[in-house]
């Protein structure tokens, strides 16, 4: 009997809570306010994502008319340890890389459909610089053999998302570019050019030409 009374009391409290909830939910002003707040937050979040996408796209550069994307120069700072200078137009940045060979990955943003018809120009972004040892033992123990050259703000990587999802929206044509492994040498300078067949790396300095001959 005692437990029955408690159960009825709890049922009465539950009924009162249900009535209050129903009145709140069916209050038009409260419901409209909640809907406005929810929609406002949704639009704010959408605007934030669009802003990050815009920032990500700003990290791409217009393709030079001559197709030369960069000059890559190596300066030995020790055995199989190099300082690498990457020159893109008027901008030069430096990093370090270990190994005997180097390789560079880039991204290409081309347009298609309506975007191509209205004359939007393709853009590119240098993505990753990689090193490699000729000796397998050294390669297995290597550490400083990969350098990220660009990152997307806020983790919004538009190029990668388009390639993985394959949803190009009828506008984008994201392509991956990769230069073959080539030898590193002190004072060696290479030119990185974009050709219809892909990335082409050409030795410019005498040291680069000699490294190519000795490889």
**Mean pLDDT, 10 residues at a time, the chain of 215 residues:** 55 70 67 76 79 81 89 94 93 94 92 78 91 90 88 82 76 87 96 91 95 90
- Closest of 94, 97, 126, 121 to residue 110, by C-alpha: 121
Structure tokens at 113: 């459909």
- The pLDDT of residue 25 is 65
As a whole number of Å, the end-to-end CA separation of the chain is 95
- The pLDDT of residue 80 is 92
- The pLDDT of residue 144 is 84
Is the full-model pTM beyond 0.85?
no
Is residue 143 classed as helix, strand or coil in its secondary structure? Answer: coil
Q: Phi and psi of 141, rounded to 5°? A: -100, 5
- Residue 151 contacts residue 56 (beta carbons within 8 Å): no
Please state the separation of Cα 151 from the chain's center in Å: 5
Neighbours of 56 (CB within 10 A): 22
- The pLDDT of residue 120 is 76
Phi/psi class of residue 96: alpha, beta or left (left: φ > 0; alpha: ψ in -120 to 50)? beta
The sign of the dihedral angle between the CA atoms of 62, 63, 65, 71 is positive
């Amino acid at each position: 009997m005692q437990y029955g009374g408690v159960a009825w009391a709890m049922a009465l409290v539950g009924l009162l809570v249900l009535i209050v909830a129903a009145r709140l939910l069916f209050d038009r002003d409260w419901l409209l306010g909640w809907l406005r707040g929810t929609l406002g937050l949704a639009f704010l979040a959408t605007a934030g994502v669009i802003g990050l996408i815009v920032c990500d796209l700003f990290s791409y550069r217009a393709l030079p008319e001559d197709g030369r994307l960069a000059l890559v120069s190596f300066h030995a700072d020790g055995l199989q340890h190099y300082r690498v200078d990457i020159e893109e137009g008027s901008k030069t940045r430096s990093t370090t890389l270990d190994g005997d060979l180097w390789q560079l990955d880039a991204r290409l943003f081309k347009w298609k459909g309506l975007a191509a018809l209205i004359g939007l120009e393709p853009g590119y972004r240098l993505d990753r610089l990689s090193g490699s040892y000729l000796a397998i033992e050294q390669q297995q123990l290597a550490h400083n053999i990969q350098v990220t050259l660009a990152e997307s703000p806020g983790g919004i990587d538009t190029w990668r998302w388009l390639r993985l999802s394959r949803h190009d929206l009828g506008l984008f044509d994201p392509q991956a570019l990769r230069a073959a492994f080539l030898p590193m040498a002190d004072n060696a300078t290479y030119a990185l050019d974009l050709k219809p067949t892909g990335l082409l790396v050409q030795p410019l300095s005498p040291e680069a030409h000699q490294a190519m001959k000795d490889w």
